[in-house]
Structure 1
Amino acid sequence: MITVGYAFLAIAFMAGIYLFALVGWPVLILAMAGLIIGVGYSIPPLKFHYRGYGELLAALAMGPLITWGSYIVQTGIYTNPAPLIVGIPNGLFTLLILIGSGALEIDACRAVGKVTLVLLVGIRNTRYVVYASIASCTWQ
C-alpha cells in the first residue's frame, strides 16, 4: 500500500510540475502544502493524525485548498477568496467522516496513544463539533 501511495504521489508531483510551468508559484506552494498534509497525516515525524489536528488539516486540504488550487489552475487568478469559501463544505464533510471514524475507533486510539479530535474534545462534546460543522455547511 505504501508503494502504491508513493507511486501516486510521484504522478501527482509530475502533474504539479507541469501545472507549475503553466501557472506559476501559487500552484507550487499549494501543492507543497497538500503534500505535507497528505504525507504528514500519518507518517513520522509529523504524524498529524496522532497529535489531534490531523482531521482539521485533512479538512483544509480536501476542501479550501483543493478548490482554490483548481481555481488558480483554471483562471490564473490567486487573489480571489471565493474558492476558499466554496471549498469549506467539502472540507467539513471530510471532517465529519474523520470524526465518525475517530468515534468508532476511540478505544483503539487510546490503546496506542493516538490523539484524535474526538479524544481531544471528548466523545460527549464531539456532537457539538458535528453540529457546528453541519450548520456551517448549511449557511452557504
Structure 2
Amino acid sequence: MQTEIQSNPTGLNKRGWKVWWRLTRPHTLTAAFIPVTLGTAMALEITDIHFGLFFAMLIASLLIQAATNMFNEYYDHKRGLDNEESVGIGGTIVRDGVQPKVIMNIAWALCGISVLLGIYICMHSSWWIGLIGTVSILVGYLYTGGPLPISHTPFGELMSGLFMGINIILISFFIQTGTITNLSILVSIPITILIGSINLSNNIRDLDGDKEFGRKTLPILVGRKNAINILMISFIISYVWILSLILFYHVTPWLLIVLLSIPKAYEAVKKFVGKTMAIEMMPAMKATAQTNTIFGLLLSIGFIFSYFFKG
C-alpha cells in the first residue's frame, strides 16, 4: 500500500469510481434529499415550482452532506478512531489508501461549489439564505472538527436533526414561496426527528468504540437499551404527529400514506434489540435510514397528490 500511495499523489488505488462514491457515504444522502423534496412539495399549494431553485438547493444540500461525511472520515482517522477493522465507515483512508489531505481538499471543494449554488439561490430569494447556509456548512465541519466536536457530545442527534431537517425543509419551502407558514414548520418536525434518529442509530452501533475513545454520545449516557427505546419512541412520535395534523389541523388526508412505512420502522427497532456487536447492527442502521427515506417520500407524495387531486 505504501508503494502505491507514493506512486499516486492522491493515494487512490485502482478500484476507481466506487472508492469515490463510497467516500460520500451515499446511504446518508437521504438526509439531504428528503428535506428538499418535502419542502418543495409543500410549496405546490402556494406557487408554481421554480425547478432551477429546486435543483440548486438539492445539489447544494447533497454536497454539504457529502462534505460533512468527508470531514468526519478525516477527523476520525486523525484522532485514531478508524482502522481497517472499523465497521460502517467510508474506509477510503484506512482501506483504500486515499491521502487524508486529499479528502479534506475535496470536502472544502464541495463546500465551495455549494456556496456558488447558494449565491444563485440568494439572487432569486433572499440573501439571508446565504447566512443560514454558511452556518450550516460551519456546523457540518464542527460536527467532527474543532476542539470539541459535536459528535463527541450528546447533541449530535439534535444538531443533525435541526440542520438537516427543519432547516433544509424551510429553506426549500421559502425559496419557492417567499414565506414560512405554520404548516411548513409543523410538517418538518417528524422529518427532523427521523434524521436525528439516523444519527442515533449510528451512535447505538458505535457505542462501545465511542466509549473507549471518551465520547459522551446520547447512547453512552443513557445506555444501549434506553437508546433503542428512544429510537422506538421517535418513530412513534413521527407517525402520531402526522395523524394529529390530519385530525386537528385539517391537513390533507393524503398524508395517511406515510403509514405504509411503519413496517420498515418496526424492522429497524427489532434488528437492534438483543444485538451487541457493531456488525450485527448494520441492518438496523440501514432500516433506520430507509425509514426516513420512505416516510419522507410518502409524505411528499401525499402533498403532491393533494395538489393534483384536490378537486
**TM-score category by the smaller chain?**
0.7 to 0.9
Give the residue type in structure 2 aligned to 1:115: K
Partner of 2:135: 33
Displacement after TM superposition at 1:50 (Å): 0.9
Which stretch has the larger CA shift, 80-89 or 12-21? 80-89
Give the TM-score normalised by the residue count of structure 1.
Answer: 0.87
User: Partners in 2 of 1:124 and 1:106 — Cα distance?
Assistant: 11
Distance 1:55 1:94 in 2: 8
1:4 paired to 2:111: no
Structure 1 segment 71-90 matched on structure 2, within 5 A:
71-78=173-180, 80-90=181-191
Cα offset for 1:7?
Answer: 1.2
What is the deviation of 1:46? 4.5
Determine the structure 2 residue equivalent to 1:57: 159
2:144 is matched with which residue? 42
- The unaligned stretches of length 5 or more in structure 1 are none
Checking the alignment, whether the CA contact within 8 Å between 1:41 and 1:54 is kept in structure 2 is yes
Secondary structure, counterpart of 1:43 in structure 2: coil
Show CA shifts across 1:21-67 (max 9, x none): 22113312321332232111111135111122122100111211111
Shift of 1:97: 1.8
Gaps of 5+ in 2: 1-102, 243-311
Look up the match of 1:14.
116
Map of 1:137 onto structure 2: 238
Any idea what the Cα deviations from partners look like across 1:84-125, whole Å, max 9, x if unmatched?
A: 322223222222222121111111101111121211222222
TM-score normalized by the length of structure 2: 0.42
CA contact (8 A) 2:156 2:199 kept: no
Give, in whole Å, the separation in 2 of the partners of 1:55 and 1:45. 19
What does residue 121 of structure 1 align with? 222
Distance 1:81 1:29 in 2: 22
Q: Is the 8 A contact 2:170 2:184 kept in 1?
A: yes
Partner Cα distance (1:65, 1:118) in 2: 25
User: In structure 1, what is the equivalent of residue 289 of structure 2?
Assistant: none
Q: Is the CA contact 1:42–1:49 (under 8 Å) kept in the aligned structure 2?
A: yes
Confirm or deny: 8 A CA contact 2:190 2:237 kept in the other structure: yes
User: 2:141 is matched by which residue type in structure 1?
Assistant: V
Give the Cα–Cα distance (whole angstroms) in 2 for the partners of residues 22 and 33 of structure 1: 20
Q: Root-mean-square deviation (CA), in Å?
A: 1.7
> In the alignment, residue 131 of structure 1 is paired with which amino acid?
M
- Alignment of 1:111 onto 2:238: no
- Number of aligned residues: 139
Share of identical aligned residues, percent?
24
